[in-house]
Amino acid sequence: MDGERIKVLLVEDDGDSRELLAELLEDDFDVTTAADGVAGLKAFEDTHPDVVVTDESLPGMNGTELAQQVKEREPNARVVLVSGYAQVDGAEYCDAVLRKPIDVERLSRMVGELGDAARH
């Protein structure tokens, strides 16, 4: 059954937020984490997740840059951008944008729906 779980890459530079979100998502999904955009891109290439959940404000490579790189490598992968800003340049590379503070139930539903879509 583990092979059927949606694979999620969570990219967040704040350690506490990353750990908490990963813990909450792990109930329903296989979760890999990364602390910045560059590490996130490497983790994407290593794990081939169905859905990437990324913060916009990351050191090294921001979330929309990461989304663009993800889409270039795997157009079927889905990207959820999390941002405290109402407007984000580059959001067109993302399949969904969630404003902070994060509604975890909404994020989980979104990841499930996008993960299913990525597989079909």
pLDDT digits (tens, 9 = 90+) for 47-70: 999 999 999 999 999 999 999 999
The domains of the chain are located at: 7-119
What is the mean pLDDT of the segment spanning 13-32? 96
**pLDDT at position 3:** 58
Q: For the chain, give the secondary structure using H, E and C.
A: CHHHCCEEEEECCCHHHHHHHHHHHCCCCEEEEECCHHHHHHHHHHHCCCEEEEECCCCCCCHHHHHHHHHHHCCCCEEEEEECCCCCCCHHHCCEEEECCCCHHHHHHHHHHHHHHHHC
**pLDDT at position 1:** 39
Q: 26-35: per-residue pLDDT in tens?
A: 999 999 999 9
CB count within 10 Å of CB 86 equals 7
Range 7-119 classified under CATH 3.40.50.2300 = yes
**What percent of the chain has pLDDT above 90?**
91
**pLDDT at position 2:** 46
Pairing of strands 96-99, 78-83: parallel
Q: Pick from 97, 51, 105: which is nearest to 74 by CA?
A: 51
| Residue located via tokens 């990324």 | 54
CA separation for the pair 92, 29 (Å, rounded): 25
What is the mean pLDDT of the segment spanning 89-101? 94
Q: 105-118: per-residue pLDDT in tens?
A: 999 999 999 999 99
Q: pTM to 2 decimals? A: 0.95
